[in-house]
Structure 1
């Protein structure tokens, strides 16, 4: 006998836009964001909240969307890596820019979650040290081993923009 899962209507503000869904009560926020919103920057990897690829901001705090049920996000603000730039005055956020400028990516699967977690940490504490940001990213894993470049990105984020920073991902590869 197959168990029947209940569904329930919820409203969640995703990247500044209120969205209404009729979701299963066991549906994760990760599933909702990817399957219903087409938000591909929120990625599935471990499914147990230890890798950080599914990181989103829930009311400004970094959370693993693979562990959070969508019904628990009712009436709350969710910011995805795609929506992070929309909250800044430029094409991408300062954390995203720092990751681009530092070349802190290889396969880039983990980077959206890392940049989002870094931005949340620096927004909470603009005077945060690099070591504090490293601690904040402890739940974000990079299988390619780009940690030296990630640390450089965090150093750039803490020190602020410089004249030698690239402005687009294309400039990084020139």
Structure 2
């Protein structure tokens, strides 16, 4: 089937099996490595992408469901003109919010969506928002610090940097 959607700000058309999962299309057909295969059951968050600005688990989402949508992956967060990191990515870098990096994609993508709607979160709100993203390395304290730092960076820049 023909599939057209906007990926990281660029219109895209490709042929895809009508039963193909978005994660497989992104990784295998398009060569993107940000979204990870974790559990295959939408339980861990490693495969999270943004579909029209909302977090979606690409390991269970049929690619056909994103026809006409805007999909953002980890690769699409940095400013394409300058290469500057998205404030959430910068926050993770500054606060060393990753250990093995496997959960990183899901944490970052979920944080981007959360901060777009809650720009000045409390730690409790943030913990609640990220509760469905699993980190097996135990870097939760650093992850929380990273997202709180990202909120500061977003506030200082005066923009929400919401992605669609």
TM range (shorter): 0.7 to 0.9
Aligned residue pair count: 154
1:130 to 123, 148, 152: 123
Equivalent residue number for residue 34 of structure 1: 27
2:20 and 2:60 mapped to 1: Cα distance? 10
When residues 65 and 87 of structure 1 are mapped into structure 2, their CA distance, relative to the original with a 3 A threshold, is: farther
Whether 2:88 is the aligned partner of 1:95: answer yes
Q: How does 1:106-125 map to 2 (within 5 A)?
A: 106-125=99-118
What's the TM-score once normalised by structure 1's chain length?
0.82
Q: How does 1:145-160 map to 2 (within 5 A)?
A: 145-160=138-153
Gaps of 5+ in 1: 1-7, 162-174
- How far is the alpha carbon of 1:112 from its aligned partner? 1.9
2:17 and 2:133 mapped to 1: Cα distance? 28
Q: How does 1:6-45 map to 2 (within 5 A)?
A: 8-45=1-38
Alignment deviations for residues 7-44 of structure 1 (CA, whole Å, 9 cap, x no partner): x1110111011111211111010000001111101110
Alignment deviations for residues 69-123 of structure 1 (CA, whole Å, 9 cap, x no partner): 0000000000000101137976111111111111111111111221111011111
8 Å contact from structure 2 (residues 6, 68) kept in 1:
yes
2:7 and 2:100 mapped to 1: Cα distance? 26
What's the TM-score once normalised by structure 2's chain length?
0.87
Question: Which is greater in Rg?
Answer: 1
1:79 to 68, 72, 82: 72
